[in-house]
Amino acid sequence: MANTYLSRLIRKQAQKYGDKVALRYRDYKTETWKPVTWNYFSDLVEVVANALVGLGVEEQENVGVFSQNMPECLYVDFGAFRDRVVTVPLYATSSEAQVHYIVEDAGIRYLFVGEQYQYDVACRVQALCKSLKQIVIFDPDVKKSPGDTNSVYFSEFMKNGLYKPYRMEVDRRSDSSSPEDLASILYTSGTTGDSKGVILRHSNYEAAFKANHARLTDLGEDDVVLNFLPFTHIFERAWSYFSLDCGCTLCINLRPQDVQKTMREIRPTAMCSVPRFWEKVYAGVQEKINETHGPAKWMMLDAIRVGKEHNIDYLMNGKTPPSMLHWKYQLYEKTVFSLLKKTVGIENGNFFPVAGAAIPYEVEEFVHSVGINMITGYGLTESTATVSCDWKGDFRLGSVGRVIPGVELRIGENSEIQLRGGTITQGYYKKEAKTREAFTEDGWFKTGDAGYVKDGFLYLTERIKDLFKTSNGKYIAPQAIETKLVVDRYIDQITIIADERKFVSALIVPDYAQVEKYARDHRIPYAGRKDLLARPEITALFRMRIDTLQQEFAHYEQVKRFTLLPEPFSMERGELTNTLKLKRSVVAQNYKELIDKMYEDVPE
């Protein structure tokens, strides 16, 4: 029986790299980055594996990890893999109800938590859950609840495995492991209903490694990878495991709000992200251009124009740029583009995978024009992340790249993308009916996404379940409209309303700083944010910008009315998932009065 690759990955890398740095993390007390060598990483994994056995954790038992990104998350993951134990990650921002559901559903006895918020939630859940036996706390500064004599700090937990008293049992478990063992259960964020636990086996990860090694050929031991998305997200999780397999140094970002500061400190060569990150980079550059005048402004605009012609009009289409164009591009590369990259912190950039939502065309065009290797991709939790992706010099704007080796794709009924292959889940944890619904009779996984393949590149059109039908019988793809409008620098968040309505409307969360600046520049008086957003000058500004951006849409697809919201959509009100995707049904309920008001006085 072949044992699992992940159970021996860290030990194998320690034998190869020894005291080379494997991980870095910020010590917030000293504001310095602490290194963790491969040897130390491997030793901690063995200690965790021994401590888990000491607790009585059984083979293929589920343990939970409820934390923001911390090195301890990886120690627990790989220690669990040594023991044939299954890890169940929970988003650090999860509510008490979400944690309660997952702990009960997965039958979790031991839950590792990160900081104070996660501990406090876990304590309340423990009082309600029969299964939860003990909480293990990563952060030593967490203050335990009065009377809590059961929870232990991670350092106390590690003492049980310090001298590796169960090393023979750990080795026995690892040697008897199988690729068909469960590795992880990842609970989906639940935009369309109850959260489902996606079963990922070791064989899924191993198939993903094989496929990505064949596609992402440039990732190696000299790369510095910044972790930005939560490890709970399959994109970051699978990418981080793959980066470790490639011998990269992982730099773990604890707090997402610090990412821009972290990038300038770490200067990463690679980082996976969602489109919103690059939308903000694009918006920042556009704002800089708008504030600049004279020759400097002309130079920035000309640099982007030259970059587009060189990288997209020629290279993307397999053509050789003319020598004069190439000379101009090299000049701008050494001046304008290098300054931009240095400002962001990516002047050492190798490539930057991006997925998780649709990328606005203007943003993708800009990023490629300035010479940043954005690797656009598509994937799901159920496919162990990547289904398709671009590669350097092999991309098409608007597509999500070529299907990776080992994954089969076909277009089914209603243009649905359907998948088969070694990376595809075998189903949902304890949900046989949902599993049956997710597959066709001949065994293909139904993604729920619509798309098509052209010249070997996959293009997404819409999320089938998200299609709206107006009361006039017209079908609307809200994501396409939202993706087009959200690039505007005055718009931070937007959701389209159209289902069973006479026309398309929108709820818009403005970029408040930009709107306030506009008011100051145009001497518009206001007494607070709500008053400002109600001013006719601001309404006219948004009307003009929306109409300009939506010209390409059919008349029935265009936003006729909109409401500017004084507060952003939030997770606290249930409007956003842990991956910041909008829960349309919750938004429709929370803003029902405002939505209904947009349809008042409309003739039948």
DSSP string, 427-472: -BTT-HHHHHHHB-TTS-EEEEEEEEEETTEEEEEEEGGG-EE-TT
Cα 167 to Cα 6, 47, 82, 161, 579, distances in angstroms? 17, 9, 10, 9, 38
Biggest alpha carbon distance in the chain? 78
Beta bridge partners of 252: 25, 227
CB 206 within 8 A of CB 384: no
CA 601 to chain centre: 41
Class of domain 467-598: alpha beta
Element at 74 (helix H, strand E):
helix 71-82
> What are the structure tokens assigned to 190, written together?
């639940």
Q: What is the CATH number of domain 1-16+38-178?
A: 3.40.50.980
Give the span between the Cα atoms of 162 and 174, in whole angstroms.
19
pLDDT of residue 87: 98
Domain boundaries, the chain: 1-16+38-178, 467-598
> What are the structure tokens assigned to 459, written together?
């293009």
CB 321 within 8 A of CB 314: yes
Give the three-class secondary structure for 313. helix
Q: In the chain, what percentage of residues exceed pLDDT 90?
A: 81
Closest to 25 (Cα-Cα) out of 277, 255, 229, 244: 255
> What are the structure tokens assigned to 503, written together?
């026309």
Give the three-class secondary structure for 253. coil
Cα 238 to Cα 90, 209, 235, 353, distances in angstroms? 15, 9, 6, 12
pTM: 0.86
Most confident of 90-104, 240-254, 270-284: 240-254
pLDDT of residue 190: 57
The residue-averaged pLDDT of 169-181 equals 96
Give the span between the Cα atoms of 342 and 249, in whole angstroms.
20
Neighbours of 154 (CB within 10 A): 21
pLDDT of residue 572: 83
Cα 345 to Cα 23, 68, 289, 533, distances in angstroms? 19, 23, 19, 35
Give the three-class secondary structure for 353. strand
Give the span between the Cα atoms of 544 and 112, in whole angstroms.
51
pLDDT of 106 over the 70 cut? yes
pLDDT of residue 604: 47
The residue-averaged pLDDT of 529-558 equals 92
> What are the structure tokens assigned to 196, written together?
């489902």
pLDDT of residue 193: 54
pLDDT band (50, 70, 90) for residue 603: low
CB 404 within 8 A of CB 387: yes
If you search the block for the tokens 């990922």, which residue do you land on? 200
Strand order across the beta sheet in which 457-463 lies: 407-411, 416-421, 445-454, 457-463
pLDDT of 469 over the 80 cut? no
**Of the candidate ranges 223-232, 299-308, 354-363, the one whose mean pLDDT is the lowest:** 354-363
pLDDT in tens, 310-324: 999 999 999 999 999
pLDDT in tens, 197-241: 999 999 999 999 999 999 999 999 999 999 989 999 999 999 999
Q: In the chain, what percentage of residues exceed pLDDT 70?
A: 98
pLDDT in tens, 485-519: 988 989 999 999 988 888 999 999 999 999 999 99
Between 471 and 150, the more confident residue is 150
CA 181 to chain centre: 26
CB 500 within 8 A of CB 474: no
pLDDT of residue 602: 61
Beta bridge partners of 439: 445
Residues in Cβ contact with 143 at an 8 Å cutoff, skipping those fewer than 6 apart: 116
Give the span between the Cα atoms of 474 and 213, in whole angstroms.
44
